[in-house]
């Protein structure tokens, strides 16, 4: 993270009963206002959709607010495309597939340089996971094995998107999300922010804001989790 | 898998409203009947519990059916202990922590040799995942990064323990279990068996049986999933 970084870290692309990105389109339009050469990173491939098919989905949503965006997979030299891009949107899907593809294509340094220099980055779900220090707090199934779980480290903490509160009265014996994050803290020290569906973070001018209708749950190693209210959450940047 | 392999592959250690292993103790007693020098593998450390604390839990349950068991972590030479063991029980917890520990301590070849030679192996949850070809179909959070996701390959397919059917009327936008397994099959070819809580597999004399009150859901790449009835399921061995 640098003082010029601009980020939109979004828990989910879609909220129940609404179209793809629909609930957050006004924020997207505002965030990318005046930006050209936007690039869509389709590598997370939700449900195994093709890169082309996934890019079309993003293009339709962006077009509805007057933005055009092109799939990163369509460039002959994706690293060069990243250097020249006016903004990035990384869609959700499988975090392991996304990260492994970025490592294989050696695109992580280019993305870090561009975002560090102020090119705005938006990520939903798996694309939000990527902005944290590591993807060790993803909810996804490890269907492929990336060489590392280190992520883009745009922010000095980890993200848990689609954060779910324990379901009252559940008889299922699998771990709750909170239990999983506490297990993470037996082996790692960085804070983890549980972002509920409908919530997002926006970083600009060194100011980090929690937006959307929900509180977010902050897990610090060895401490009781706390609920952060929507509004400024600059304390999350203090690890930087 | 060899013709002498004996396995108990259990979806969950605990079913709702009952004590640790309680529902499956008669099967455990029968499976390990007459066996001494049983070894408990505590490395999955559910909730970050200590190896000693976790071993005590297993010891209490085993003692209630007249079996004694010792933690693998208490041996000076765990590989030697594995070679001399009369049986293994690997408890649940975090699959990544479990597998990473086994790789770090270089215990996988010893376990494979012993189980291949007929030493009975029981695993619950993460310990069940371990019996498959890989742990790419675990439900756990990747809180640590093992060098590989290749598992013990005692059976020629993958396990998905704690298998959950889609929750009717859910508004959560995270992927269902079935969606995740279908994504797995975009990148991998082996069958995946979804074992519901309360179900287990028992392998003996080259016969594989699905036990417990539920059907199990079999996912073959590119095919419609099917429900397997309790009883012989030897078709799952045909990949071997």
Q: What per-residue confidence (pLDDT) applies to A175?
A: 81
Q: Give every residue of chain B whose pLDDT is below 50, as ranges.
A: 240
Residue contact B47–A141, C-beta within 8 A: no
* Minimal C-alpha gap between B17 and chain A (Å): 8
Q: What per-residue confidence (pLDDT) applies to A223?
A: 96
Give a yes or no: residue A2 inside a domain: no
Residue contact A145–B148, C-beta within 8 A: yes
Q: Which of A173, A195, A197, A219 to mutate to test the interface with B (most CBs of B within 10 A)?
A: A173
* Minimal C-alpha gap between B30 and chain A (Å): 25
The arithmetic mean of pLDDT across residues A19-35, rounded, is: 97
Q: What per-residue confidence (pLDDT) applies to A240?
A: 44
Q: Which of A36-50, A95-109, B169-183 has the lowest mean pLDDT?
A: B169-183
Tokens describing residue A69 = 């965006």
Contacts of A15 in chain B (CB under 8 A): 173
Give the helix/strand (H/E) hosting B144: none
Contacts of A167 (CB under 8 A, 6+ apart): none
Contacts of B138 in chain A (CB under 8 A): 141-142
* Minimal C-alpha gap between A150 and chain B (Å): 10
Question: Which pLDDT band holds residue A31 (cuts at 50, 70, 90)?
Answer: very high
Closest B-chain CA to A160: B141
Host domain of residue B164:
7-235
Q: Which residues of A are catalytic?
A: 125, 140, 162
Output the CA–CA distances (angstroms, integers) from residue A138 to A162, A203, B175, B213, in the order listed.
Answer: 9, 21, 12, 32
Q: What per-residue confidence (pLDDT) applies to A174?
A: 77
Q: How many CB pairs under 8 A join A and B?
A: 121
Closest A-chain CA to B138: A141
Give a yes or no: residue B1 inside a domain: no
Average pLDDT, chain A: 95
Estimate to the nearest angstrom the gap between the alpha carbon of A1 and the chain centroid.
Answer: 14
Nearest to B127 by CA among B179, B156, B162: B162
Given a contact cutoff of 8 angstroms between Cβ atoms, the answer to whether A184 and A152 are in contact is no
Domain count for chain B, please give it: 1
Query: CATH code at B86?
Result: 3.40.50.880
pTM: 0.94
Give a yes or no: residue B137 inside a domain: yes
Give a yes or no: residue A240 inside a domain: no
Give a yes or no: residue A128 inside a domain: yes
Contacts of A140 in chain B (CB under 8 A): 175, 180
Closest B-chain CA to A92: B174
The arithmetic mean of pLDDT across residues A130-146, rounded, is: 97
For A165-209, the pLDDT digits (tens) are 887 778 777 788 999 999 999 999 999 999 999 999 999 999 999
B40 beta partners: B71, B89
Q: What per-residue confidence (pLDDT) applies to B240?
A: 44
Q: Which of B146, B167, B179, B183 to mutate to test the interface with A (most CBs of A within 10 A)?
A: B183
Give a yes or no: residue A1 inside a domain: no
Sign of CA dihedral B140, B145, B150, B151: negative
DSSP per position, A191-235: -EEEEETT-EEEEETTEEEEESSS-EEEE-TTS--EEEPSEE-GG
Give a yes or no: residue B2 inside a domain: no
Give a yes or no: residue A139 inside a domain: yes
Catalytic residue among B5, B11, B13, B125: B125
The arithmetic mean of pLDDT across residues A133-143, rounded, is: 97
Burial of B156 (0-12, 13-18, 19+ CB in 10 A): middle
Contacts of B13 in chain A (CB under 8 A): 173
Clarify whether B52 is annotated catalytic: no
For A49-82, the pLDDT digits (tens) are 999 999 999 999 999 999 999 999 999 999 999 9
A141 closest CB neighbour out of B16, B46, B137:
B137
Given a contact cutoff of 8 angstroms between Cβ atoms, the answer to whether A239 and A193 are in contact is no
Estimate to the nearest angstrom the gap between the alpha carbon of A149 and the chain centroid.
Answer: 15
Q: Which of B10, B141, B186 to mutate to test the interface with A (most CBs of A within 10 A)?
A: B141
Q: What per-residue confidence (pLDDT) applies to A1?
A: 66
Clarify whether B11 is annotated catalytic: no
Q: What per-residue confidence (pLDDT) applies to A5?
A: 94
Q: What per-residue confidence (pLDDT) applies to B48?
A: 86
């Amino acid at each position: 993270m640098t003082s010029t970084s601009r980020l939109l870290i979004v828990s989910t692309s879609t909220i129940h009963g609404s179209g793809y990105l629909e609930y957050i389109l006004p924020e997207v339009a505002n965030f990318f206002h005046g930006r050209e050469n936007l690039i869509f990173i389709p590598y997370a491939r939700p449900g195994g959709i093709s890169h082309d098919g996934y890019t079309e989905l993003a293009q339709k949503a962006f077009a509805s607010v007057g933005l055009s965006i092109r799939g990163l997979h369509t460039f002959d030299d994706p690293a060069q495309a990243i250097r020249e891009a006016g903004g990035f949107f990384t869609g959700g899907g499988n975090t392991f597939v996304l990260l492994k593809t970025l490592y294989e294509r050696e695109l992580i340094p280019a993305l870090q340089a561009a975002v560090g220099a102020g090119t705005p980055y938006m990520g939903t779900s798996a694309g939000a996971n990527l902005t944290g220090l590591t993807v060790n707090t993803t909810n996804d199934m490890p269907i492929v094995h990336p060489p590392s779980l280190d992520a883009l480290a745009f922010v000095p903490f980890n993200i848990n998107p689609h954060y779910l509160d324990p379901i009252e009265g559940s008889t299922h014996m699998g771990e709750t999300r909170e239990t999983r994050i506490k297990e993470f803290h037996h082996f790692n020290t960085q804070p983890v922010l549980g972002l509920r569906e409908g919530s997002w973070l926006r970083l600009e001018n060194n100011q980090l804001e929690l937006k959307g209708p929900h509180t977010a749950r902050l897990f610090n190693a060895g401490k009781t989790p706390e609920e952060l209210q929507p509004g400024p959450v600059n304390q999350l940047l203090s690890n930087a």
